[in-house]
A and B are shown apart, each in its own frame.
Chain A
Amino acid sequence: MLDRAVLEGPELDPWPLEVALVRAADLAVRRFRLLVSRPVAFGLQAALGGAMVAFGAMLALATSAGIAVPGLANLISGGVFGFSLVIIMVSEVSLVTADMALGILAVYHGRLRLRQYLGFVGASYVGNALGSFCFMAIVATAGGPYWTAPILIRAHALAASKMGMPDFSTFLLGILCTWLLQTAMILYLKARTDIGKMLLAYYGPLAFVAGMTEHSIANIGFLALPLLTQPLFTPVTHLALTASGPTAWLHWGFGRYGWAHDQLFTLLGNFVGGTLFVATAFQWAADPERLRALYQGRARRATGKARSAGLRVDTGGTL
């Protein structure tokens, strides 16, 4: 039997990987329980998570408009977008790409069934999508600085570059996005200090935005503004909409420059990146005996406490 001090490692060092994986499964189970017991509260949390991603999209567009150097525009966009995952993780709201990775770990640990996982991830996506879209719809309706040529040109060019890519590129960039983002989330769970957690959470969105990858909920925010303001594009910018290129005509359907096309392949890539390249890879890398010892230790502590209090045993709490 492994000693608890050995399992948890030296004080203030990052938590061992196995502890981070158990905590990830705890988070998924807690969110699933919220969905079952208080579905409206879960929906609101998911909508807030989507809106927090859209905060980053708005800031990225606002700060990178008019910058002609692509690398600098990417760095500035990523720099302001980075806070999105920090505020999502600190406020404990739902983000579907995080839920995909957290939830599959709970399935691996036998704590959620596959259909429960699929329902939980589906509900998280719907809430996120609504939250992200609603926030950007308010930005698009607000006008003011968002109805000016530099912002509309930047937003349109970014959307056209995302929506004009072939399926395969969108899919692979979706994989890269959640590989970066969920790695940051696992590191957030490993960190013991609040500053360490914030810095590691900041890295994820910084990397995926500056790295020009594709995130389904961020794309809902990034694409909503140019799609909703498209009728204003020519009157404000004095540029004609074209069949292709940075001023291409955008639409909501499938096919090139279509929103649904971009969303489908981004989502597929995001699923594979977070679940396979992060959650599954870390699960394979973890020591099974340490994982088992952590769960057995928790079960023993829960049993001891319950017996002394005369309560029913529940092994679902935190470590």
Chain B
Amino acid sequence: MAYAWWNPLVWGLFALLSAALGASLAHFHRRWGRLADGGREEEPLEGWARDGR
């Protein structure tokens, strides 16, 4: 198992750490909204290829 791609220990820890990342993302978006616009609400971007701001 230590040399297989599906090692549950590694994937479990990765999922846990990714959840911490997701929780941070949710927090910053909930608390600040779109910081780049000084907190002003705007229409959401559509499509992957829409330009970043």
Residues of A that sit less than 8 Å from B by CB: 25, 28-29, 32-33, 36-37, 104, 106-116, 119, 166-168, 171, 254-256, 258, 260-261, 264-265, 268, 272, 275-276, 280, 283-284, 288, 291-292, 295-296, 299, 315-316
Contact = CB atoms under 8 A, between A and B. Distances in A.
28 contacts: A25-B36, A37-B51, A104-B21, A109-B28, A109-B34, A109-B36, A110-B29, A110-B33, A110-B34, A111-B53, A113-B44, A114-B25, A116-B45, A116-B50, A166-B3, A167-B9, A167-B10, A168-B10, A254-B4, A255-B3, A255-B4, A258-B3, A272-B17, A276-B20, A295-B35, A295-B37, A296-B38, A299-B38
Interface string B11-53: 0011001101100110011011111111100001100111111
A316 B37 CA distance: 9
* Max chain A C-beta neighbours (<10 A), residue from B28, B49, B50: B28
A254 B6 CA distance: 11
A292 B48 contact: no
A36 B7 contact: no
B35 to A, nearest CB: 5
Nearest to A109: B35
Contacts of B3: 166-167, 254-256, 258, 261
A256 B38 CA distance: 51
A32 B36 CA distance: 16
B53 A29 contact: yes
Given A299-B37, A315-B36, 12 more contacts: A33-B52, A110-B37, A113-B44, A114-B25, A171-B14, A268-B14, A272-B17, A272-B18, A296-B38, A315-B37, A315-B38, A316-B53
Given A107-B25, A272-B18, A292 B51 contact: no
A25 to B, nearest CB: 8
Given A29-B52, A261-B5, A315-B53, A111 B36 contact: yes
Interface residues of B, number: 34
Nearest to A120: B52
Nearest to A281: B24
A272 B36 contact: no
B28 A108 contact: yes
Given A255-B3, A299-B37, A315-B36, A106 B10 contact: no
B21 A288 contact: no
Contacts of A272: 14, 17-18, 21
Contact of B45 (A113, A119, A295): A113
A112 B7 contact: no
Contacts of B33: 110
A240 to B, nearest CB: 22
A170 B10 CA distance: 10
A268 B33 CA distance: 29
A315 B39 CA distance: 12
Contacts of B24: 108, 280, 283-284
Contacts of B36: 25, 109-111, 295, 315-316
Contact of B2 (A114, A116, A167): A167
B5 A254 contact: yes
Contacts of A25: 36
B13 A288 contact: no
Nearest to B2: A166
A110 B45 CA distance: 11
